[in-house]
Amino acid sequence: FWEGQPINEVGKYYLYIYGCNSHNENGLSKTSFKNRIEWVKSNYDKIINLDKELILSAESPFIFTAFCLNMKDIHNNPNAEIKTPVFLDATCSGIQHLAGLMKDLVLGINTNLKPQTEDDIPEDIYKYLLIHLNKAINIFGKNNIKYENLSKVKLERKHIKAPIMTKVYNVTEYGISRQLQANLKEEKDNVIYDNDSIAKKKIKNNIEQTMIFNKSKTIFVCPDKEGKKILLSKREIYKIAQIINDEIFLALPSLNNIYNYFLDMAKLSIELEVPLLWITPNGLKITQKYLKKKKKVISVNLFGKTKKIIIYDKSNKLDKAKQKQGIIPNIIHSLDASHLISLIISSAEDKFKPLISVHDCFGTLPNFMSKLEFNVKKQFVLLYTQNEFLNDFHKRFIKLLNEYEFDIITKENKEYVVFLNNKQKKKRKLLKII
């Protein structure tokens, strides 16, 4: 990157888009490329003059400042060397990989796995699921008087983005509630409690809000359906988290199916006490075998002071919770890594540089973004057209069961594994292979 390059027309195109993305006035980063380029052109004078108000109003002010400095350099000298990378970011990459695994058209379209022109508005899976989630929260509030406040809630995109992104990495209900709390404004001052634990607080629009709390003095400001604000307790936030956790995939049934498939296979492996094994498209063999740890505390007396040392030692028993929690994020991360490795290898073969990556975000100099964009998409397509990961995963698991000498039978066109129930040693038990 330090070598840099004078900008060309292709480079200007991608530099403008990235500059608009970093400012993101009125959510322009979710509009067409054409709109984003027009925004830069209409604000050109402010950009090259480093307008203070424009910079301070940016969503990412430091990145936008770097863009403005580059634009100023180009304006003063068309041959100025540009050394700042621009980035191509995936749309919810975890769900993109699941869409690729299943070759699911609806899921693929919702995560922008489709051809697009500069006039097209990108799809937004967060907004798509937001409608479904708000509806489920409101219905629950109407049907449960203890949570009637939830009938008024209207969460925004920024509130549910993190839960949707991390659901495929097995985020817990507690984790979702923490994400919601972080994205809702917390209020702690001027809260008055009476003997019935009723809290009253005047909020900014001078509307007095009354709520019942579980002896918690922490409340959160949330938007409602009328554009006003309501106050939510931690208990209500946690209930919203539970609803989001239960409903998040129901609007996209195929996502629910693949999610449950991997979880059920993990449960089966736990029941049979065997590890999970798969081979990535790049040939890396992965064995998931989380073992329970034994905790031993040793007290050491030194110079009249006692220090405690905790030593962990692995047992030979599977950690059931970690086996279930780990399967989906481990598979997605291994596929994500396969895509990155393929991109790096193909880039090296083509002598393409510079290249930088942060998880599912890929960067290069503006002049080379068109080529990088093509290669990122190409490697993703090859990953899921030249490999049958799901079928291979399933076959490999059955092969593993055979190696552990389990009997597998077919009954009514469904496969079952036969094993002795540990609790009833003499009784054979059938478990369906999903």
Q: Which of 161, 167, 234, 324 is labelled catalytic?
A: 161
Would residue 161 show up in a list of annotated catalytic residues for this protein? yes
Our answer to whether residue 89 is catalytic in this structure is yes
* 89, 246, 350, 407: the active-site residue: 89
Residue linked to tokens 């393929």: 342
Q: Are 249 and 228 in contact (CB under 8 A)?
A: no
- Out of 104, 124, 336, 360, the active site residue is 360
Catalytic residues: 89, 161, 360
